[in-house]
């Protein structure tokens, strides 16, 4: 069964606490927090203050996906805010190794993220040091986009490297994930599924979380 990471990006922010509690009670393992800077991606969402505000109200793993140019500067603020996992896009920094070192030295789990147009080879030199790899299954920037099936091959490649080298990082997928698209991801080796609109654009998120689990039994 895949671990489920509802993306708060698609929730109604007026009732934020209630919307976090809904997925927490439904047993979602992670809460996915999409940080967008208006530069690496066109949208602007929220920053470390948002993570700090959420931290006291849930024990869920706070899975912070930084879609931020030159993330090195802002990493300490996310570490201090109480993030459990921090993901940096390999395309957003000239110093991916250093960025991951900063996260790990802060006692937080480190994740590297690759866009649909980025090959697995780009992150091979840092795979020994990450706790999680995020394979984007849409181009980042917005919720509610269509899943790109050509990204599934990269999940399989990563899973193969994991086996060959004895690594134990999680493989997360993000974008256009629903109870159908999650199946091929899971078969290819994905262990964590982010889902935004699929979980939050309905009255009962718990049912959608369960549907993702049922699809990956
Ligand atoms: C996209 C974000 C995603 C987004 C997913 O840039 O990284 O986490 O919230 O939304 P859905 O599941 O609706 O594609
Ligand atoms: Zn995301």
List helix spans (H) across the chain: 16-25, 48-54, 75-81, 96-105, 152-165, 181-188, 197-200, 205-214
Cα 71 to Cα 65, 77, 189: the distances in Å are: 11, 11, 28
* Torsional sign, CA 160, 165, 166, 170: negative
Ligand number nearest to the C-alpha of 181: 1
pLDDT < 70: residue spans in the chain: none
What per-residue confidence (pLDDT) applies to 104?
A: 98
Mean pLDDT, rounded, of the chain? 98
Q: Which residues are annotated as catalytic? A: 34, 174
Angle at 4 between CA 148 and CA 51, to 5 degrees: 100
User: Measured in angstroms, how far is the CA atom of residue 178 from the centroid of ligand 1?
Assistant: 11
What per-residue confidence (pLDDT) applies to 14?
A: 96
CATH number for the domain harbouring residue 103: 3.20.20.70
3-state helix, strand, coil in the chain (%, to 5): 45, 20, 35
What per-residue confidence (pLDDT) applies to 115?
A: 98
Domains identified in the chain, total number: 1
- Chain-centroid distance, C-alpha 175: 9
What per-residue confidence (pLDDT) applies to 205?
A: 97
What per-residue confidence (pLDDT) applies to 214?
A: 97
Q: How far apart are CA 36 and CA 38, in angstroms?
A: 6
Instruction: Specify whether the CB–CB gap between 213 and 1 falls below 8 A.
Output: yes
What per-residue confidence (pLDDT) applies to 7?
A: 98
* Look-up of token digits 């999409």: 34
What per-residue confidence (pLDDT) applies to 77?
A: 98
Closest residue to atom 10 of ligand 1, CA basis: 143
Range(s) of the domain holding residue 39: 3-214
What per-residue confidence (pLDDT) applies to 15?
A: 96
Largest CA distance in the chain: 47
Is the CB of 174 inside a 6 Å radius of any atom of ligand 1? yes
Is the CB of 198 inside a 6 Å radius of any atom of ligand 1? yes
Using one digit for the tens of pLDDT, what is the confidence trace for 147-166?
Answer: 999 999 999 999 999 999 99
């Amino acid at each position: 069964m895949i671990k489920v990471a509802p993306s708060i990006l698609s929730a109604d922010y007026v009732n934020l606490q209630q919307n976090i509690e809904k997925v927490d009670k439904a047993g979602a393992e992670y809460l996915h927090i999409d940080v967008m800077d208006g530069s690496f991606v066109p949208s602007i969402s929220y920053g470390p203050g948002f993570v700090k505000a959420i931290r006291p109200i849930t024990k869920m793993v706070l899975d912070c996906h930084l879609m931020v140019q030159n993330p090195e500067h802002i990493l300490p603020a996310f570490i201090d805010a109480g993030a459990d996992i921090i993901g940096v896009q390999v395309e957003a920094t000239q110093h991916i190794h250093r960025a991951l070192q900063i996260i790990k030295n802060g006692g937080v789990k480190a994740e590297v993220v690759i866009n649909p147009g980025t090959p697995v080879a780009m992150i091979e030199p840092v795979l020994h040091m990450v706790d999680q790899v995020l394979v984007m299954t849409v181009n980042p920037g917005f919720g509610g986009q269509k899943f790109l099936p050509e990204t599934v091959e990269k999940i399989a490649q990563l899973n193969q490297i994991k086996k060959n080298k004895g690594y134990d990082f999680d493989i997360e997928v993000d974008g256009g994930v629903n109870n159908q698209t999650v199946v091929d991801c899971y078969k290819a080796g994905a262990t964590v599924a982010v889902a935004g609109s699929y979980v939050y654009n309905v009255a009962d998120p718990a049912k959608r979380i369960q549907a993702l689990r049922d699809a990956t039994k």
